[in-house]
Every structure is written in structure tokens, then in C-alpha cells.
Structure 1
Amino acid sequence: MGYRVLDPDDIAPSDDRPCELRGLTEPAGLDRMAINRFRAEPGEMLPLAYHYHDDQEEAFYVLSGTLHVETPEETYEVPEDGLFVVDPGSPQRAFNPADAETSVEVLAIGAPPTEGDVHAYDP
């Protein structure tokens, strides 16, 4: 059996994102899913680009604030304690709009954790 307890605040944020990203996958020793915690201030985007995945399913659980997710059909507003799920092949761009009053904190889970599975989407 294996167990681990982590404090995400002890994990250094990534410096290559438009918002705060704390990658939890590797510190947790996970190999069948990817988990990230995001904190986006008003005007910040979570991913590096509007994108889609070939194989990975994604789930965004909103810890605080309101997450906005742009898709080709519409822009969704996901409130605190809400869950937004993205199927493989479905383009999306998660963000906190510039006119938001607060930051948004999100736990993002993706499975399987694949390399090279992300593709830019140009609407």
C-alpha cells in the first residue's frame, strides 16, 4: 500500500504559465493521471493556448471564484464548487476574465497523463 500527504503550497509554482500553476502530479508520484492547481488573477488564462487533447479527458473543479471556459460553441461560467469536464478532441480555453472581481482557484485533473497530446486550436 502507498499513501502520501502533500501541501500544494509547499510545491514551487511553475514559471512558464500566464497564471500560478502548481504541478502536483510528480510530487504525488502519480503515473495514471495528471493533477494541477491553478490560481488565475483577473485577465489571466490557465492553459498556454486555446487547445484540445487527442486522448486526455480533463476535469476542472473550481475551488473558489468563477472559471470561464471558452469553447467553439459558447463560453461557460463555472461557479465555485462546480465541475467542468472536457472530452478528448474538444477545444477549450479556461480563463479568468479581465473584469472579474476576484481570482479563481481550480484543481485540474487529466487522464491519462500524456506527453505530446496537446494541440493548439485556432478558432
Structure 2
Amino acid sequence: MERVSIDDVEAEPHPMGVNRERRVLTDALGAEEMTAVHYELEPGEQFSGGLHTHHDQEEVFYVLEGTATFEHGTDGEKTDVEAGEVIRFEPGEFQCGRNESEDIVVGLALAAPGSQHDWEQLESFAPCGECGEVTAHGVREPDRDFVIYCKECGNEMQIA
């Protein structure tokens, strides 16, 4: 058994700069079969780096405070999730959670199986500077920085 206070886990901003208050609880708990991350999102911030899916993990988001808006699928459909509510995304289902309100959103993201992504199983939609449109992007396993690449033309973008 492991127990940890969220306040004792160091806050790390998302590598893509989409939020400032992210506390990865996985390592502090010694978890190996799932991921747990605590977020506090200011207005305009999001849980992750845009519309994406994990082909190897399902994700559950529990909203503790405020209202998070989740875009899901690839047609722009949105669902608001209020404090005390939970939303689940199966492997392969595209989603992106944001704080579109004027209040702080506090939430917990849980993913399984595995305590770490298989980066080759992550896919996102993002604008490609070479293609000039939104295309499917993959992520190469990062050593220190993320390398996101366009699946159409191979154009790479490094995120520190």
C-alpha cells in the first residue's frame, strides 16, 4: 500500500505548455499498471496537448471542482462534465478536455493499463506547417523532448 498527499507531489507543467498545474501521482504511488494525474486548470488551459487518442489505454477523468469541456470524436462534438461527474474514453477514442469556463477546474485523470504511454500508440490531430492543414500526428518516444510528426508528410516538430 502507498499513500500520498497531492500537495506533497511536485507540480510539473505539461511539456507542451497547455497547463501549469499538473501533479503526476503515478510514481509517488509506485503504480505500475495505471496512471494517475491531478490537474488544476486555469481558464483556457487543457488537460493535454489537443485532440488525441491512446490506442493502448482507456482514460477516465473525474472532475472535482468546476466544469470541464471535453471535445470527443473527430466531428467537434463537446460534452460538459461538472464537479462530481466522471467521463470515460475507450482506447482509440479521440478526446481533449479543456477549461472553457471562467473558474478553476480541478480534476483527476486515470489511465490503464500501464503506468506509461506506449508513445507509438498515441495519435493526435494538429496543424501541419508543411501540409497547411490539420492532419494526424504521431509522437516518437521522447528522451528529453517530445517529437511530434505529421503522418502525412513526416514533418517533425520538437516540443521542449
Q: TM-score, normalised by structure 1?
A: 0.90
CA contact 2:56–2:118 (8 Å) conserved in 1 = no
How is 1:1-123 mapped onto 2 (pairs within 5 angstroms)?
Answer: 3-15=1-13, 16=15, 17-19=17-19, 20-71=21-72, 72-73=74-75, 74-97=77-100, 100-113=101-114, 114-116=117-119, 117-122=121-126
Question: Which 4+ stretches in 1 moved above 3 angstroms?
Answer: none
Count of residues in correspondence between the two structures = 119
- Indicate the structure whose relative CO is greater, using CA pairs within 8 Å and at least 6 residues apart: 1
Q: Distance in 2 between matches of 1:13 and 1:41?
A: 14
1:32 partner SS: coil
Q: Does the CA-based 8 Å contact 1:52-1:121 persist in structure 2?
A: no
Give the % identical residues: 31
Using the TM superposition, give the Cα deviation of residue 50 of structure 1 relative to its aligned residue in structure 2, in angstroms: 1.5
For the pair shown, the structure with the greater C-alpha radius of gyration is: 2
Root-mean-square deviation (Å): 1.4
| Contact kept? 1:62, 1:104, Cα under 8 Å | yes
Q: Which amino acid aligns with 2:67?
A: T
Q: 3-state SS of the aligned residue for 1:6?
A: coil
Give the Cα separation in 2 of the matches to 1:64 and 1:91.
23
1:26 Cα shift?
A: 0.7
| AA partner of residue 18 (structure 2) | P
Displacement, 1:14? Answer: 1.2
Amino acid at match of 1:61: Y
Where structure 2 has 5 or more consecutive residues not aligned to the other structure, the ranges are 127-133, 135-160
Stretch of structure 1 that moved more, 88-97 or 64-73: 64-73
SS of 1:121's equivalent in the other structure is strand
Identify unmatched segments of 5+ residues in structure 1: none
